[in-house]
């Protein structure tokens, strides 16, 4: 979007040269036309540079180009004065008057539109456009020779400059919105990861928090009883052992529920999350009939890949495909943001910890004798392929 906006303003310079300079060349011709074209080209170059610096300023990359804005105004003044001088002292013909009038009004219109990029408040933009329009009225007397002609030139500059100024302000606003949406998408992905971590921490706390408190109390009671030589201390430690074993079993259940995932649910969730983030997502195939352990391993691959597409890439399209062929299940996740694939073994990912990235996925797939391939396949395209063999080569009915 930023590239499109920048080149749009650079195209304004081309439009100024083509619409004003070449038009003047076609009207008068000869050396006079060359001078007019040279003036317009110089003004267009200053406009292009000012637009580029002003866009950098709107993105917070440099200071406000105040000197360039004053320079643009000075160059505009010089061009308009030269146009008036040529109209006054040049050949007395309608073609010359028309060409100089086109150059005079045109550079004021483009100066007003580009200058609006370098200011932020609406009052200043209105004042800027109105100032150029007032200058057009003041300079219109030598060109038109009448109040009506001068007012006509001023109104033309006011309308044309106002339109370009509105276009400039709207383009900057749209660019800011796109950047905010991009930042919001990244924040949303981070919040989703943080929410999942909080959920897991809450479940883990609920499971073992009470049991650990009971273990601490019973251990303290057993110590006191043992110091007194009471046989009940053995019963209390037996109870501590039972609670510890129960806690261990409950923690395994929590971790198993966190690590296992239903493939159909993960596929639907991936499509919904990516679509909400503005990424076109196509999902083909289904997981019906696949063994639970295979669905769990592949579901985690989908979850991890989706998280990394959101967090680490700049994808516009993502394709997820599940197919069964030659006694194995093949899951393919492909996106057109080459940096959006799953990161390396030690890279960050949505799950965090040492089990993140390719290493974590390979660990989960290894539990079902699966394999993982990941990397760029062509310019700008990243592909992740997970292959898991089926027991007996058949899908469960």
pLDDT digits (tens, 9 = 90+) for 139-182: 766 665 667 777 888 888 888 888 888 888 888 888 888 888 88
pLDDT band at 363 (very low <50, low <70, confident <90, very high): confident
The pLDDT of 229-254, averaged and rounded, is 82
The residue count for the chain: 397
For residue 260, name the pLDDT band (cuts at 50, 70, 90): low
Per-residue pLDDT band for 98 (boundaries 50, 70, 90) equals confident
d(CA 69, CA 117): 10
Q: Which of 75-79, 149-153, 240-244, 257-261 has the lowest mean pLDDT?
A: 257-261
Residue with more model confidence, 346 or 373: 373
Residue 355 predicted with pLDDT over 60: no
The residue ranking higher by pLDDT, 308 or 386, is 386
Residue for token pair 């309308």: 159
Quote the pLDDT of residue 349.
37
pLDDT at 68: 87
Lowest mean pLDDT among 18-22, 199-203, 264-268, 304-308: 199-203
CA 125 – CA 111 distance, rounded (Å)? 12
Q: Is 80 exceeded by the pLDDT of residue 90?
A: no
For the stretch 141-151, pLDDT in tens is 666 566 777 78
Q: pLDDT class for 388, splitting at 50, 70, 90? A: very high
Query: 389 with 327: CB under 8 angstroms?
Result: yes
Helices and strands (H, E) in the chain, number of each type:
11, 5
Place 269 in a pLDDT band, splitting at 50, 70 and 90. Answer: confident
pLDDT, tens digit (0-9, with 9 covering 90-100), for 214-226: 788 888 888 988 8
Q: 47 pLDDT exceeds 80?
A: yes
Contact 216, 201 (CB under 8 A): no
**CA dihedral in degrees (242, 248, 251, 255; nearest 10)?**
-150
User: Can you say whether residue 283 is alpha, beta or left, with left for phi > 0 and alpha for psi between -120 and 50 degrees?
Assistant: beta
Say which residue the tokens 């990394």 belong to.
308
CB-based contacts of 82: which residues, under 8 Å, 6+ apart?
35, 39
Q: How far is residue 159's CA from residue 155's CA, in Å, rounded to a whole number?
A: 6
Contact 40, 17 (CB under 8 A): yes
Distance (Å, whole) CA 110 – CA 159: 11
How much is the pLDDT for 110? 87
Highest mean pLDDT among 70-79, 149-158, 338-347: 70-79
Q: Are 297 and 367 in contact (CB under 8 A)?
A: yes
Asked if residue 22 has pLDDT above 60, the reply is yes
What is the distance between the alpha carbons of residues 144 and 142, in angstroms, rounded to a whole number? 6
Closest CA to 117 of 18, 42, 45, 49: 49
Residue-by-residue DSSP string for 70-125: HHHHHHHHHHHHHHHHHHHHS--SHHHHHHHHHHHHHHHHHHHHHHGGG--SHHHH
Q: Model confidence at 330, in pLDDT bands (50, 70, 90)?
A: very high
280-284 vs 317-325, strand pairing mode: parallel
């Amino acid at each position: 979007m930023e590239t499109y906006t920048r080149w749009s303003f650079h195209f304004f310079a081309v439009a100024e040269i083509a619409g004003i300079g070449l038009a003047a060349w076609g009207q008068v011709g000869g050396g006079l036309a060359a001078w007019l074209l040279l003036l317009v080209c110089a003004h267009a170059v200053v406009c292009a540079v000012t637009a580029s610096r002003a866009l950098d300023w709107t993105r917070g990359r440099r200071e406000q180009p105040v000197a360039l804005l004053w320079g643009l105004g000075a160059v505009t003044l010089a061009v308009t004065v030269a146009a008036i001088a040529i109209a006054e002292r040049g050949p007395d013909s309608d073609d010359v008057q028309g060409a100089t009038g086109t150059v005079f009004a045109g550079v004021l219109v483009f100066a007003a539109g580009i200058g609006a990029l370098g200011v932020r408040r609406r009052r200043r933009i209105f004042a800027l456009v109105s100032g150029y329009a007032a200058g057009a009225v003041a300079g219109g007397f030598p060109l038109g020779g009448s109040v009506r002609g001068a007012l006509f030139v001023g109104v033309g500059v006011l309308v044309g400059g106002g339109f370009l100024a509105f276009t400039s302000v709207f383009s900057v606003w749209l660019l800011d919105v796109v950047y905010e949406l991009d930042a919001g998408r990244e924040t949303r992905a981070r919040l989703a990861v943080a929410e999942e971590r909080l959920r897991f921490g809450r479940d883990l706390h609920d499971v073992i928090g009470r049991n650990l408190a009971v273990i601490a109390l019973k251990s303290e009671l057993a110590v006191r009883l043992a110091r007194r030589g009471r046989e009940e201390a053995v019963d209390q430690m037996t109870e501590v052992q039972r609670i510890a074993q129960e806690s261990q079993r409950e923690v395994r259940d929590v971790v198993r529920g966190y690590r296992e995932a239903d493939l159909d649910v993960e596929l639907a969730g991936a499509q919904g999350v990516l679509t909400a983030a503005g990424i076109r997502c196509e999902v083909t195939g289904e997981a019906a009939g696949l063994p639970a352990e295979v669905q769990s391993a592949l579901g985690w691959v989908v979850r991890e890949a989706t998280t990394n597409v959101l967090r680490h890439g700049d994808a516009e399209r993502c394709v997820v495909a599940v197919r069964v062929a030659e006694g194995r299940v093949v899951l393919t996740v492909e996106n057109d943001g080459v940096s959006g694939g799953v990161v390396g073994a030690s890279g960050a990912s949505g799950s965090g910890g040492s089990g993140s990235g390719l290493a974590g996925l390979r660990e989960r797939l290894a539990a079902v004798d699966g394999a993982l391939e990941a990397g760029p396949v062509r310019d700008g395209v990243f592909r992740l392929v997970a292959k898991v063999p089926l027991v007996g080569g058949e899908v469960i009915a």
